[in-house]
Amino acid sequence: MVRKLAVVGATGAVGQIVLEEIQHQKLAYDELKLLASERSAGKKVKVGDQELTVELLEPGAFDGIDLVIASTPDEVAAECVPWAVEAGAIVVDESAFYRMQEDVPLVIPEVNPDAALGHKGIIASPNCSTTQMVVALKPLLDAAGLSKVVVSTYQAVSGAGLAAQEELLRNTTSKLNGSPASAKMFQHDIALNLIPQIGSEKQDGFTSEEIKMVRETHKIFGDNTISVNATCIRVPVLVGHSESIYCETKEPLELQRVLELFRNAPGVTLIDDLGSKSYPMPADCEGKPDVFVGRVRKDLDNPCGINFWCVSDNLRKGAATNAVQIGKLLSEQSDVSAG
């Protein structure tokens, strides 16, 4: 049970979904406080049958708070999360700032819930593209081990925020009308296009998003020996990341066993009937909390090779849903109280 819960970034796109998920997942609390920047402070937000006023995000705002769910840009998290920890709160942070810090657990409740017990005031929620992949891979890892993962992501523009969604719609309309379109949110115009770069250039030609997927997967699974190779692509889809995943298990698994593992895995929904044209698509998965898997195939040459398609709402399981699940996990593990 959480006595006092605070949501930071409450008026943002993900923050709004956090509030929905708190109600949906029945994360119990006695008192809820909404925090945001000066631009949003004073706004009224409806949460369940309550109407709450958004308060200013400042150091004193965390006095008496037990649990914080924070959805902010990295630079804001770097400043405000220590305020909350110093006030005695536990923070579930959705930014990238703390994810790879050695003393900060990186948690997906379906995958490594016990890692949350080792927190020192901060628990990080992983990158959206990592989260759905790792949830899908977990049953295979448990059943037969993993030696290799090759993933190509097809990531919706909502991963870059509301302005990116608006740019996609605006530029698509311009192109269909034969009018010029300008790119502001991305390196190139995303309308009717694909951009094979998400994030900045890093080592050996990989982007920051691709390196995140490698390092976060190793940290969550606690195994740096798994070979992970990622190619991340931005696609003209509003919501929902898709991934084409090839993996190699350490021991062979029959196809029916793989399907059974996906069917029974927590947080995974299997939709896989090629004959009836049934498989996960972002348009169908939007607004849903699960990770959806389909197009499951064994490799034609390697008995340990498995191919599958994976889709998830990046604003839900990739962000808000996972953060609230962590908060609920903490509240169920022990009484969450300040100090």
Q: Which residues are catalytic?
A: 128, 241
Long-range contacts of 200-208 (CB under 8 A, 24+ apart): 206/230, 207/232
CA–CA dist 209, 73 (Å, integer): 15
CA–CA dist 132, 136 (Å, integer): 6
User: Is the torsion defined by CA of 142, 103, 64, 18 positive or negative?
Assistant: negative
- Helix (H, G, I), strand (E, B), or coil: what is residue 332? helix
Residue from 47, 46, 81, 43 nearest 65 by CA = 81
CA–CA dist 248, 226 (Å, integer): 10
Q: Give the position of tokens 């609920």.
A: 328
User: Is the torsion defined by CA of 332, 333, 334, 339 positive or negative?
Assistant: negative
The phi-psi region of residue 300 (left if phi > 0; otherwise alpha if psi is between -120 and 50; otherwise beta) is alpha
